């Protein structure tokens, strides 16, 4: 039962009151859990379920517990039990003895929400306690079946309505869990008993138990077998349930409707293997609904019709075909009543029918098509916003469903809907225009697109069938380019673009004219929708290909005698952004020669001194080349066309520095996105012998002085990508040549570094033998004193050790001993830049080591620990990762994680006895290991570790203390409060021992740590453990925390306070949302008073308006479109647009403007990031110094202000004069001001400063203001004179 209770007196005025009709505005928009529950109710899982008997038993044991009383009920319960204390033990427990220890979980709901103030609930508890006692006295096990039998017996003998309601409620709970065979065997007796109670309650006024009886009857009928539905008694019981679906009491009606829905849609036999297609009672239900609606007729209130429509909305998709047809005919008849709510509910029923996607046995294609045709008679007026939106939504779903059933029939009906939707684009309502656009796009993608392949090429001469329908639809959409649609051109262009994408490949022949129209529109001066038009033409480029588009709309660029305005040059960026899946050969045959001609023309003009024209042609040919990556994205003729363009691409890389980036991008695109088959890879790889030498030469050439070398990274990336499709033998040949140039005495340092980069790129693709030779070759460079060469040598080794290929793994295994010796030998000579790749090599090697290599790991450990303080971020990151990898290796060696960690930490402890740097690095290493292996470290080990680190806090060196504080920070994060409490004394002693100068230096870090301690253990405990010099900081922290807490509470209260503004309406997503507003616009005529409005409250919802004819035209009631003159909204009323300013308003109309505080989530993210940085998981990045003043934005980077800056007064005044803001608006060409885009208009603005409130400066400010006004008047006068002169001229 629902928890109820009374409010304290006087609290009603404090409650937030919703305005009428807005009580559900705060409901969540998403309901995925409810949707999931609904879908589970009417279906059964196909796969094996995890819901086993053992799982249920475990769940029952976990859920079993003592009786839970609500907070309000405990006091009253105690008060009732006090007088009974003197009586015997038996008497003291009679009221709730059966309830509190009831072991059946079915009644957990009663126990959990027990309320002593509710008489009905007391009665339920009393009945449950009594029934439980009876079952126990007879030696029962308190099963659902026993409770069912006992409660049925009780139901037949109780007299009072309250007891009957309590028994019915408990029976409703237990029957859902009674085994189906029990309900089947006792069906006759149970039905008779329930029907007797139902017939008595139907005539009584209270009917408190009626809804529970109806629910019980529904559960009983749902569990029966299909054969039972052949008996008249079953249908009689079901008819009894049906009759209550139109009851005048909402709760009873709702229970009956839910029961009927659960029977017709969710009966158990419908989910068996031999289930019938429809429930046996479906036809009976349909007849009942039709009969009720016909009997209700066109009565004034139509409440019965609305109730039946609500039921039909849920059930119509489960009826057989004949019943659905009869129901649809009745729905269409009641829609002629022009009752707004009835029409809206009928539309909801149709929408639910189509969205349910019933099969042909429920809704045949023919019936679907007939409904579509019939609904055109109910097309609302274009001024009727909500009904028109609903009509569009229903028609969209109807056509989509018809397309799924029979595509040919669907395509035949689409042109008429396209015509209706296009006429909606002329509506004055933006919502209607947007909805119509979305409907058209949905129909194109859902109904037309899947059938385009089977139609083949469509021509304008198509006279019948699907091609003819597509032609009609396109002509209707194309008509939207006429001037009468000019206000909706952005939406028309969207639909056109969608049509191009869907049908452009097959129907490009009929679309040529529209493309020419678009080109003409684009060339119109100041055409406002050029962005939308470009997207539409882009859709044509995607589907038809650039060749077809350019045949319809030529570029008109030849290189000679061109209009230098190039009116069609807008096509170049459109093609560049949208071309894909097209013929690469077209670029080779059309665009590449055109680019060469333009380049040649630019050179000629340059020579003749026409530099401006030369620049234009040069820019244009570069833009044409930018199309190349798009042409290389999944070309359809790669195998045929690549050989034709390969030579030109190679020459462009070699000879045209301005095209290198574009061509390299194109080559990478071809290999990464277009080589899907082995044949295509082989075709592109065939030219590696041509491309790779060119790329190698370009990369190894040193850029000339003053020339940018940015292209080299793109060339190197292209080399790496091209190597993936190159044969291994060829790569070995290239490597040999690179080695020769590396060892050549003629090579300079730049060339040798370039060769090393090429070797790094080729290393992962070598075979094992070549890798070994390469390793021997680079071995001397590992000890060279040139940091650059040494780093590159380690990079080669890193690529060979870390590659995923089998050859890389084999190389490491075969040369493991040699690698160990070499890496230990080169330890002393390793330069700082080489640390990052060296550590990466060690990570890859340690992953493959066994227990016999433990000594090697021990020898490496000091180097790894020291590298945690390296300058390079990458080196530090690799050092921390290697520490974790060594830990994983120890776990592999020992098997037991805790023993492994103990051995590992003993080796790391040795660093605490070294130099200051070594101690700092060791603490950093321990911090990372504790963070990573927190669950694998013994308590004693952790205690000893914490003790040692706390001792280091007394050191005089800041670096050591900084590392130790980072360790404490991580400990506070990872350790649970109980374990932390045992170590708090040691940590506080350590913090208290920090030297004064070090303490002052790290005051921010210490404050952060103290805050965390106080949140976990409280102010008093932390204060008692720290020396007196820290107490002032602690008091400050406590004040700050209290202030933050108060501010947060104030913010929450303000959020909950009543606001003047109504909640904004969310976007309508479903048919219910659309139709829910259909009666929200209804209001009384303006002449009536307030009392009349109140009296007319209920009739108001059903009102409708007739739209008179234009001027003196009388209204013709025999007109076929007369239904469009019946409006759900008053055409004489206009809604006042409310300005949304985004601020809250107080009761007296003042705006509440407050600074946005940092979100709690952001704060948590920042704290987590801080911890990860301390633990070495994330890299610490050096940040620029920022102002601490609150007046500046937190994310405003400010340069460090280390130099003295003049300020103050007298000789300390600021040297730079105040900047005149008006100078921004001054015209450069003549007098006066000019408007600037994105800035305020050039008026004289008076700044609102605090200084203006100063009374001593009032005279000065008044003078300034008067001068400003005089200046404005003078300017206006001169402007007026200028205008007069112009008029005379």
User: Rounded CA gap, 1165 and 1171, in Å?
Assistant: 10
Mean pLDDT of the chain: 80
Considering only residues 771 and 1243, tell me which one the structure prediction assigns the higher pLDDT.
771
pLDDT for the residue numbered 705: 75
The answer to whether 1128 and 1079 are in contact (CB under 8 A) is yes
Give me the percent of the chain exceeding a pLDDT of 70: 77
Q: How many residues does the chain have?
A: 1289
Burial category of 232 from C-beta neighbours within 10 Å (exposed 0-12, middle 13-18, buried 19 and up)? exposed
Give the single-character DSSP code of 1066.
P
Please indicate whether residue 1266 or residue 1169 has the higher confidence score (pLDDT): 1266
Buried b (16+ CB within 10 A) or exposed e, 1193-1207: eeeeeeeeeeeeeee
pLDDT tens by residue, 625-644: 999 999 999 999 999 999 99
Among 331, 346, 410, which residue's Cα sits nearest to residue 372? 410
* Number of Cβ atoms within 10 Å of the Cβ of 500: 29
Comparing CA positions, the residue from 301, 303, 331 lying closest to residue 315 is: 331
User: Environment class of residue 673 by beta-carbon count within 10 Å: exposed (0-12), middle (13-18) or buried (19+)?
Assistant: middle
What average pLDDT does range 220-235 have in this prediction?
90
**The tokens of 352 are what?**
């639910």
Here the tokens at position 981 are 């409490």
**What gap in Å lies between CA 667 and CA 684, rounded to an integer?**
9
pLDDT, average across residues 336-348:
87
Q: Give the pair of three-digit tokens for residue 290.
A: 């039709």
pLDDT value, residue 1286: 75
Phi, psi (degrees; rounded to nearest 5) at 557? -125, 120
At 1202, list the tokens: 């280390």
- Is the Cβ–Cβ distance between 639 and 604 less than 8 Å? no
- pLDDT band per the 50, 70, 90 thresholds, residue 620: very high
Predicted pLDDT of residue 498: 95
Residue 442 clears pLDDT 80, i.e. is over it = yes
For residue 799, what are its two tokens? 């690529």
* Euclidean distance between CA atoms 109 and 678, whole angstroms: 65
Residue 4 reports pLDDT greater than 60: no
The DSSP secondary structure of 1097-1111, one letter per residue, reads: HHHHHT--EEPPPST
Tell me: pLDDT of 285 over 90: yes
The answer to whether residues 156 and 168 touch, using CB atoms and an 8 Å cutoff, is no
Confidence at residue 77, expressed as pLDDT on a 0 to 100 scale: 36
Q: Does residue 95 have a pLDDT over 90?
A: no
Sequence-ordered list of residues with C-beta below 8 angstroms from that of 373, at least 6 positions apart, any chain? 413
Contact 808, 843 (CB under 8 A): no
- Per-residue pLDDT reduced to its tens digit, 1253-1265: 777 777 777 777 7
Closest of 54, 322, 19, 339 to residue 1103, by C-alpha: 339
Contact, 262 vs 316, CB < 8 A?
no
438-442, 842-846, 1276-1280, range with the lowest pLDDT: 1276-1280
> Average pLDDT of 279-286?
92
Residues 6+ apart with CB under 8 A from 998: 956, 958, 961
The CA distance from 497 to 310, in Å, is 40
Mean pLDDT for 1100-1112 is: 55
Taking a C-beta distance cutoff of 8 angstroms, is the pair 652, 602 a contact?
Answer: no
Six-digit token pair at 785? 């004193």
What are the phi and psi torsion angles at 580 (to 5°)? -170, 165
Which helix (H) or strand (E) segment holds residue 1277: the answer is helix 1258-1288
pLDDT per position as a tens digit, 1021-1061: 888 888 888 889 899 999 999 999 899 888 887 766 544 44
How far apart CA 238 and CA 194 sit, in angstroms, is 12
- The pLDDT value recorded for residue 1144 is 63
Q: Give the range among 887-901, 969-983, 1184-1198 with minimum mean pLDDT.
A: 1184-1198
Q: How far out from the chain centre does Cα 988 lie?
A: 45
pLDDT at 1135 over 80: no
Q: What is the pLDDT of residues 908-929, one digit of tens each?
A: 888 888 888 999 999 999 999 9
**Per-residue pLDDT at 1191 exceeds 60:** no
pLDDT for position 35 = 64
| CA–CA separation, 1246 and 1155 (whole Å) | 24
pLDDT for the residue numbered 16: 55
- Residue 588 confidence class, pLDDT cut points 50, 70, 90: very high
More confident residue, 991 or 564: 991
* DSSP code of residue 381: P
Q: How far apart are alpha carbons 1034 and 541 in whole angstroms? A: 69
Measured in whole angstroms, the distance separating CA 524 from the mean position of its chain's CA atoms is 40
Half-sphere exposure in the Cβ direction for 1124 (13 Å, CA) = 14
In terms of Cβ atoms closer than 10 Å to its own Cβ (0-12, 13-18, 19+), residue 317 is: buried
Weakest-pLDDT range from 216-220, 490-494, 551-555, 748-752: 748-752
For residue 1159, pLDDT beyond 50: no
The pair phi, psi for residue 114, each rounded to 5°, is -70, 135
Helices (H), 545-637: 546-552, 571-578, 584-586, 592-607, 611-625, 628-631
Q: What is the token pair recorded at 33?
A: 């859990």
* pLDDT tens per residue across span 718-770: 999 999 999 988 998 999 999 888 888 888 888 889 999 999 999 888 888 88
Q: 558-585, pLDDT tens digit by residue?
A: 878 777 788 888 999 999 999 999 999 9
Q: Measured at the alpha carbon of residue 899, what is the angle toward residues 896 and 904, in degrees to the nearest 5?
A: 120
């Amino acid at each position: 039962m629902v928890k109820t209770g009374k409010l304290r007196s006087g609290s009603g005025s404090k409650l937030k009151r919703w305005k009428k009709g807005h009580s559900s505005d705060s409901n969540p928009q998403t309901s995925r859990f409810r949707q999931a529950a609904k879908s589970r109710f009417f279906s059964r899982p196909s796969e094996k379920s995890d819901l086993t008997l053992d799982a249920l038993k475990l769940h029952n044991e976990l859920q079993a517990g003592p009786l839970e009383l609500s907070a309000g009920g405990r006091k009253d319960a105690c008060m009732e039990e006090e007088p009974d204390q003197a009586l015997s033990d038996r008497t003291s427990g009679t009221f709730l003895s059966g309830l509190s220890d009831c072991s059946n979980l079915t009644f957990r709901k009663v126990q959990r929400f027990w309320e002593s103030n509710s008489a009905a609930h007391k009665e339920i508890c009393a009945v449950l306690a009594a029934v439980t006692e009876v079952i126990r006295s007879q030696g029962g096990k308190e099963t659902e079946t026993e409770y069912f039998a006992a409660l049925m017996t009780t139901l037949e003998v109780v007299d009072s309505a309250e007891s009957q309601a309590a028994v019915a409620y408990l029976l409703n709970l237990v029957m859902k869990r009674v085994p189906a065979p029990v309900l089947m065997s006792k069906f006759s007796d149970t039905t008779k008993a329930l029907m007797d109670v139902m017939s008595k309650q139907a005539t009584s006024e209270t009917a408190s138990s009626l809804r529970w009886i109806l629910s019980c009857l529904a559960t009983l009928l749902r569990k029966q077998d299909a054969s039972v539905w052949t008996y008249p008694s079953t249908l009689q019981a079901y008819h009894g349930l049906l009759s209550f679906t139109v009851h005048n009491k909402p709760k009873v009606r709702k229970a009956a409707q839910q029961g009927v829905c659960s029977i017709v849609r969710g009966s158990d036999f419908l989910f068996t293997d031999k289930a019938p297609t429809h429930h046996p009672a479906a036809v009976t239900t349909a007849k009942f609904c039709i009969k009720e609606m016909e009997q209700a007729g066109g009565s004034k209130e139509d409440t019965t019709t609305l109730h039946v429509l609500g039921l039909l909305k849920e059930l119509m998709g489960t009826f057989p075909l004949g019943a659905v047809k009869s129901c649809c005919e009745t729905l269409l008849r009641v829609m002629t009543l022009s009752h707004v709510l009835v029409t809206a509910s009928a539309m909801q029923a149709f929408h639910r029918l189509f969205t349910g996607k019933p099969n042909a046995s429920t809704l045949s294609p023919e019936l679907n098509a007939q409904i579509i045709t019939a609904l055109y008679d109910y097309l609302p007026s274009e001024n009727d916003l909500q009904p028109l939106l609903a009509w569009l939504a229903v028609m969209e779903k109807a056509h989509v469903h018809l397309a799924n059933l029979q595509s040919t029939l669907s395509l035949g009906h689409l042109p008429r809907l396209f015509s209706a939707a296009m006429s909606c684009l002329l509506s004055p309502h933006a919502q209607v225009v947007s909805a119509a656009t979305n409907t058209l796009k949905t129909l194109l993608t859902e109904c037309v697109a899947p059938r385009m392949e089977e139609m083949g090429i469509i021509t304008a001469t198509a006279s019948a069938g699907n091609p003819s329908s597509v032609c009609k639809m396109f002509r209707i959409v194309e008509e939207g380019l006429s001037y009468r649609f000019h206000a909706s051109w952005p939406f028309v262009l969207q639909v056109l673009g969608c049509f191009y994408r869907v049908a452009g490949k097959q129907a490009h022949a009929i679309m040529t004219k529209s493309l020419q129209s678009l080109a003409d529109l684009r060339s119109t001066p100041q055409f406002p929708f050029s962005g939308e038009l470009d997207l539409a033409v882009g859709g044509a480029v995607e589907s038809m290909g650039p060749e077809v588009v350019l045949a319809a709309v030529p570029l008109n660029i030849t290189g000679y005698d061109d209009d230098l305005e190039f009116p069609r040059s807008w096509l170049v960026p459109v093609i560049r952004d949208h071309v894909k899946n097209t013929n690469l050969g077209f670029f080779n045959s059309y665009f590449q020669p055109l680019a060469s001609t333009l380049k040649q023309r630019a050179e000629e003009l340059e020579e003749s001194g026409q530099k401006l024209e030369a620049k234009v042609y040069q820019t244009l040919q570069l833009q044409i080349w930018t199309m190349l990556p798009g042409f290389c994205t999944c070309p359809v003729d790669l195998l045929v066309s690549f050989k034709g363009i390969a030579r030109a691409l190679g020459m462009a890389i070699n000879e045209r520095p301005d095209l290198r980036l574009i061509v390299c991008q194109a080559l990478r695109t071809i290999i990464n996105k277009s080589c899907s088959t082995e044949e295509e890879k082989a075709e592109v790889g065939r030219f590696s012998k041509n491309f790779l030498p060119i790329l190698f030469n370009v990369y190894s050439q040193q850029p000339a002085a003053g020339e940018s070398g940015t292209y080299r990274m793109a060339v190197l990336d292209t080399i790496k990508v091209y190597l993936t499709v190159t044969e291994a033998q060829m790569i070995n040949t290239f490597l040999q040549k690179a080695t020769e140039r590396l060892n050549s005495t003629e090579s300079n340092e730049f060339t040798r570094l370039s060769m090393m980069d090429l070797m790094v790129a080729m290393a992962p693709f070598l075979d094992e033998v070549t890798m070994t030779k390469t390793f021997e070759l680079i071995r001397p460079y590992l000890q060279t004193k040139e940091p650059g060469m040494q780093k590159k040598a380690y990079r080669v080794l890193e690529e060979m050790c870390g590659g995923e290929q089998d050859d890389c793994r084999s190389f490491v295994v075969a040369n493991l001993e040699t690698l160990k010796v070499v890496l230990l030998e080169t330890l002393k000579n390793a330069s700082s830049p080489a640390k990052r790749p060296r550590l990466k090599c060690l990570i890859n090697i340690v992953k493959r080591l066994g227990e016999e290599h433990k000594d090697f790991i021990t020898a490496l450990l000091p180097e790894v620990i020291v590298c945690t303080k390296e300058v390079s971020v990458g080196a530090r990151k690799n050092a921390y990762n290697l520490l974790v990898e060594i830990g994983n290796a120890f776990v592999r060696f020992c098997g037991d994680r805790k023993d492994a960690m103990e051995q590992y930490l003993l080796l790391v402890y040795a660093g605490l006895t070294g130099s200051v740097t070594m101690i700092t690095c060791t603490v950093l290493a321990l911090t990372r290991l504790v963070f990573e292996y927190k669950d694998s470290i013994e308590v004693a080990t952790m205690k000893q570790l914490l003790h040692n680190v706390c001792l280091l806090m007394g050191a005089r060196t800041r670096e050591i203390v900084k590392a130790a504080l980072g360790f404490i920070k991580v400990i506070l994060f990872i350790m649970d409060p109980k374990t932390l409490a045992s170590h708090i004394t040691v940590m506080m002693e350590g913090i208290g021992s920090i030297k004064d100068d070090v303490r002052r230096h790290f005051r921010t870090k210490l404050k952060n740590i103290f805050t965390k301690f106080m949140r976990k253990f409280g102010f008093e405990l932390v204060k008692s453990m720290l020396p007196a010099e820290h107490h002032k900081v602690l008091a400050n922290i406590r004040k700050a925390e209290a202030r933050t807490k108060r501010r947060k509470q104030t913010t929450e209260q303000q959020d909950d306070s009543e606001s003047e503004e109504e909640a904004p309406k969310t976007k309508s997503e479903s048919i219910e949302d659309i139709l829910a507003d259909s009666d929200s616009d209804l209001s009384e005529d303006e002449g009536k008073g307030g009392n009349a409005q109140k009296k007319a409250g209920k009739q108001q919802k059903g009102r409708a308006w007739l739209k008179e004819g234009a001027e003196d035209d009388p209204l013709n009631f025999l007109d076929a479109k007369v239904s469009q003159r019946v409006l759900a909204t008053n055409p004489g009323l206009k809604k006042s647009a409310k300005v949304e300013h985004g601020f809250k308003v107080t009761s007296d109309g003042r705006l509440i403007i407050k600074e946005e505080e940092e979100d709690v989530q952001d704060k948590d993210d920042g704290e987590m990031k801080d911890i990860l940085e301390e633990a070495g998981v994330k890299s610490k990045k050096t940040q620029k110094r920022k102002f601490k003043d609150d007046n500046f934005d937190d994310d405003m980077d400010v340069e460090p202000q280390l130099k003295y800056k003049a300020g103050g007064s007298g000789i300390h005044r600021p040297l730079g004069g105040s900047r005149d803001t008006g100078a921004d608006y001054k015209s450069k060409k003549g007098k006066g001001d000019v408007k600037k885009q994105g800035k305020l208009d050039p008026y004289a603005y008076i700044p609102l400063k605090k200084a203006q409130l100063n009374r001593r400066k009032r005279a000065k400010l008044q003078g300034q203001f008067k001068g400003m006004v005089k200046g404005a008047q003078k300017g206006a006068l001169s402007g007026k004179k200028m205008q007069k002169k112009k008029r005379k001229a």
